[in-house]
Amino acid sequence: MTTLTEATDEAAVRGKAPARRPRRKVDRLPYLLLLPCLAIIAVLLLWPLGQVVMMSFYKLDSVRQLRGDREWPWVGLANYAQILSDPFFRTVLRNTVLFAVANVALTMVLGTLVGLLLNRLGKKMATFVASCVMLAWATPALTGTIVWKWIFDDTSGLVTWLFNKLPDGLSTTLFGRSDWTGYGWFNDPLMFFGILTLVVVWHSFPFIAVSVLAGLKSVPTELQEAARVDGAGPWKVFWSVTFPMLRPVFGILVVLSTIWDFKVFTQQFVLAGGTQDRSTFMLSIYSYAEAFSPPPKYGLGSAIAVILTVILLVVTALYVRMVLKQEDES
């Protein structure tokens, strides 16, 4: 069989140039169809992001400056230097990272377990359970957080009522008090983050569960049955067969969960009742407080928002690179 190199040499000997394949015509229609979506993304995402980046290089402490009635003093990287040199920023960053790590881990574990449960149930029961679970995901964050705040209300909340129903001797022995009326569940930072984690995980795990369930439907049952025949238990089957095939799904879910948990704002703002308790600050609410709490510092708030965006981009890029490397090695 004549190779391309031999054909080229033979043509050169005969004094003829080798025949060139005609260039494939590029279909531009798909790119034209994407233009409206790209324009919407540019207007709704890229333009505001560009404005925030630009504002971070100015000293903005007045609404009149944002309206254009006053000049914007250029300060360069001074806002970033002030934020990064502030010891309180390191405390906020620590709170954000620890909260995100804990919530991503709990959300992934709980969502995966529920997804595995749904995969084992019958069709009707799985549909019923999935519909109930998705109610938490469908509930707006503001509405759900208000409900949870009422549950932990210090006078009429469900948790306060349940603790008051405990026998006085048992409650005093375990917790050091028998009357829970008026107890501030949100006053202690550790307790506050515990409740905030409960609210965020409750709202987030249904999406993980349904996504894992969709991935499980694509796993060939023959491989799982073969592993069971070889004597593998449920734990071994999951880690040896199911997890490797669902690794891309888990990779995407971890990235999305990390982004969402780093940006938690609504739940924290509602539970804390504003921006008064600085000991529970995370980056998103820290940016808001610096920008809008009197006296306003829009430049500093914008700089914190840019730092948060950069952190998310770096974390996401590193994780995606790690997942792709594992895929190449396997």
Mind listing the pLDDT tens digit for each residue in 29-68? 888 888 888 888 888 888 888 888 888 898 877 766 666 6
Highest mean pLDDT pick, 101-105, 154-158, 219-223, 299-303: 101-105
Neighbours of 137 (CB within 10 A): 16
- Residue 156's pLDDT band, with cuts at 50, 70 and 90, is confident
Judged against a pLDDT cut of 90, whether residue 27 lies above it is answered with no
* CA distance linking residue 77 with residue 98, whole number of Å: 28
Of the two residues 284 and 23, the one the predictor is more confident about is 284
- Residue 20's pLDDT band, with cuts at 50, 70 and 90, is low
Mean pLDDT estimate for the chain: 83
* CA distance linking residue 64 with residue 70, whole number of Å: 6
Location of structure tokens 């809008």: 292
Q: What is the CA radius of gyration of the chain?
A: 28
pLDDT at 207: 92
Cα three-residue angle 45-51-55, rounded to 5 degrees: 145
- Residue 202's pLDDT band, with cuts at 50, 70 and 90, is very high
Could you tell me what percentage of the chain is helix, strand and coil, using 3-state DSSP and rounding each to the nearest 5? 75, 0, 25
DSSP secondary structure letter of residue 20 = P
In the chain, which residues fall in CATH 1.10.3720.10?
Answer: 89-293
CATH architecture of 89-293: Orthogonal Bundle (1.10)
Q: Which residues face 58 on adjacent strands?
A: 74
Judged against a pLDDT cut of 70, whether residue 253 lies above it is answered with yes
Nearest Cα to 180, choosing from 188, 189, 172? Answer: 172
Judged against a pLDDT cut of 50, whether residue 143 lies above it is answered with yes
Q: Which of 4-13, 14-23, 96-105 is the least confident region?
A: 4-13
Judged against a pLDDT cut of 90, whether residue 105 lies above it is answered with yes
pLDDT at 223: 79
Judged against a pLDDT cut of 50, whether residue 318 lies above it is answered with yes
* CA distance linking residue 267 with residue 147, whole number of Å: 11
pLDDT at 100: 93
* CA distance linking residue 302 with residue 283, whole number of Å: 11
pLDDT at 108: 94
- Residue 99's pLDDT band, with cuts at 50, 70 and 90, is very high
pLDDT at 145: 93
Look up residue 14 and give its amino acid.
R
Structure tokens at 151: 């549950």
